Chains A and B, each alone.
Chain A
Amino acid sequence: MDTFLGRYKNLVVLAAILFAQIIGLALQVRRPVQTGGETRLIRLWAISAVTPIEGAVVHAQKWAHWAWSNYAYLRGVRRENRELRAQIERMKIDEARLSEDARMARRVQTLLAFKEQYVENTIAAQVIGTSGSEQSRVLYLDKGSRDGIKTDMAVITPNGIVGKIVQVFPTSSQVLPINDQFSGVGAMLKDTRLQGILKGAQNGTTTLQYIMSDEKVEPGEEVLTSGGDRIFPKGLPVGNVVTVEPGKDLFLNIRVVPAARLDQVEEVLIVTKIMEKMPDAKDLAPIRAADILAERLPTVPTKPANAATGTSTPAGTAASPNAARPAATGAASNKPAGGAATLPGAKPTGVATTPRSTQGTTAVVAPGTAAGTAKPGATTPAKQLTGEGTTATGSIKPKATPAQSEPVSGAAPSKANPQTPLNDDTSTPPPKKAQRPPEQTPPANPDQVAKPPAAEPPQP
């Protein structure tokens, strides 16, 4: 026996080590490996020992990058700032249009008693590590149970979903990304609303499965979360369809490229609270265009009643029924009205009148003023805005609330109702003459021309 062990000592040791590991494997497989809340103690020790080092390295690198990008490397910031401002202007216009669509959708959902899911709370986290192998694609985050992280929380980025939390440690957590071969996400196609399961593969690709082969799916179609997995809220972007091929068992093989860059993700958001509620019922009431305009446009502080006299230009927005009447004559309204709230690229829209203009619902809109909020190409129909069939551009109800009676910036004052100052432009000369300095403009009748107030703050 001693001779045998001595001769085959190496092989015996190898066999013993392998046998022990196989027994260990069998014990792990016999018990469920992925139990969610349970974590093997040795894994906890190892990960707790390593993740602080990784976190320190990542944060040091991030600090160095931050110092470089914020202090040392500022080339092109001005140009980028200009571009971003222009982008914000465009997005504001789009946002106004989209918010109207959202309101309408909420009203419809309320009528149909749908419940919506909202991502209420998120925690930002930093990716500090990976599994380091091709067989497993798990990620490690620098937030753990001390930060309120729990298993099965959704991990997302602004571009799309990333995965879910599978294990939580005190100062770190482990994410199973959607392209891991053991991952599965309830997903649906955005246009056709077909639902399936998005599964990862060993090579890191993701496929949408369980879509019947007789369905028509086009490449490029967007894939959203369906909410069926009870982890991701419904409607989050998942990715786009790349290829559609007939698969086995009467199902299509739809390959999806994830919207989030899973191989280069660095910062993520962990969804810690999802709220489910009914849409707000207050939106059920019809919304008037005046309300929308009052929300979108900047407000003007109220002036004393005698601050304005009868100098008014025809061009402008009327706030009172009487004010609108003399202005509702097309030619004069095409005068450019000076003032704020001009939007880049806004076309002159001229007069927007309706058959009800005699009742004071007419709004004469100067180019670049209030009507300019309805951007050329803005597709919000007038009926959606007012609900009463009036034209959307600046139509104001006779029974104006205080918010509505506050005029649109840049609008001209009313001649017929001089006691009601509309805005600060009330006391200024007409726009054409306002191009010249006031002292060079001889008034035809000085008694009827108001002097501009001395300490008038500039209008936004």
Chain B
Amino acid sequence: MSSRTMPFRGSYTSREQVAVYDFSWKALLFIPLVALLIQIFIPVRVRYFPLIDLPFMVTIFFAVARRSPISGCLTGCIIGLTQDLFAGPSHPLGMYGIALTIIGYLASSLGAKIDTENPGSRFLITYVFFVLHEGIYYGVAHGLLRQTQVWSWSHVAVSALANAVIALFVYAFLDRFKER
């Protein structure tokens, strides 16, 4: 509820202290749920929407804003497992869960060190983490499950670019739910 400040511990940001935000339980519950519903529903009407990964953006947003690695990886785990539920019987539960758990942990750890309010840094974080997310998913599917996966750098680069651009608007919208 209240805004807290994190003491300076080797931060790379110019500020000595970075703000830690909280969210209401409604926001914590409904924002991932709505993101997931949109992700499931919109591709019926919009052809290229599966390129966009809203649950991934929500995971990064919460992780970066709360700056707590434990809550970051828990948030990523829950959102990823929920996303796994709708991915069909050929996708075992845990593929997105593992990927988003790691992303949530890294994003919250990084959020404690750099200024994540800047649109430029948000763009870069989203771009890099999306590539990492795809890589983790590929590793889990190919390495653990022996599924046939095709890795395309160009496709991943374009998808990451699209996600990074759209994430700027999504983060700007989600900033309204922050509570200081």
Contacts and interface: CB of A to CB of B under 8 A. Distances in A.
Co-assembled chains A and B? yes
Contacts of B92: 24-25, 28-29, 33
Contacts of A9: 70
A47 B41 CA distance: 13
B88 A132 contact: no
A384 to B, nearest CB: 46
A195 to B, nearest CB: 23
Contact of B88 (A40, A54, A174): A174
B41 A133 contact: no
Contact of A181 (B85, B94, B101, B148): B148
Given A28-B93, A132-B43, A10 B144 contact: no
B91 A135 contact: yes
A193 to B, nearest CB: 29
A interface majority secondary structure: mixed
B interface majority secondary structure: helix
B76 to A, nearest CB: 9
Given A176-B88, A263-B47, A22 B41 contact: no
A131 B87 contact: yes
B53 interface: yes
B17 interface: no
A127 B86 CA distance: 14
Q: How large is the interface on A (under 10, 10 to 19, 20 to 34, 35 or more residues)?
A: 35 or more
Interface string A305-347: 0000000000000000000000000000000000000000000
Given A42-B85, A54-B37, A132-B86, A127 B44 contact: yes
A58 B44 CA distance: 10
A255 to B, nearest CB: 15
A324 B98 CA distance: 87
Interface string B79-104: 00111011111111111111001100
A21 B94 CA distance: 6
Nearest to B145: A29
B90 A136 contact: yes
Interface stretch (A12-20, A66-74, A79-87): A12-20
Given A132-B83, A133-B53, A134-B50, A22 B40 contact: no
A132 B36 contact: yes
Interface in B60-87: 69-70, 73-74, 77, 81-83, 85-87
Interface string A396-419: 000000000000000000000000
B89 A33 contact: yes
A43 B85 CA distance: 5
B87 A138 contact: yes
Contacts, number: 149
A47 B83 CA distance: 11
Contacts of B50: 130, 132-134
A208 to B, nearest CB: 18
Nearest to A266: B44
B77 A22 contact: no
A159 interface: no
B101 A21 contact: yes
Nearest to A204: B50
B127 interface: no
B40 A131 contact: yes
Interface string B25-62: 00000000000110111011101001101000000000
A181 B61 CA distance: 31
30 contacts: A13-B74, A14-B101, A14-B105, A17-B74, A17-B77, A21-B81, A21-B97, A22-B94, A22-B98, A22-B144, A24-B92, A25-B95, A25-B144, A26-B144, A29-B144, A34-B89, A42-B93, A46-B86, A47-B85, A50-B40, A54-B37, A130-B40, A131-B40, A132-B50, A132-B83, A135-B95, A135-B137, A135-B141, A176-B90, A180-B90
Nearest 7 pairs of A and B residues by beta carbon: A132-B39, A138-B88, A10-B69, A28-B92, A46-B85, A21-B94, A182-B90
Given A21-B101, A50-B36, A133-B87, 19 more contacts: A10-B105, A14-B105, A17-B73, A18-B98, A18-B101, A22-B94, A25-B144, A28-B93, A42-B85, A43-B85, A53-B37, A54-B40, A57-B41, A58-B44, A130-B43, A132-B36, A133-B39, A166-B88, A203-B155
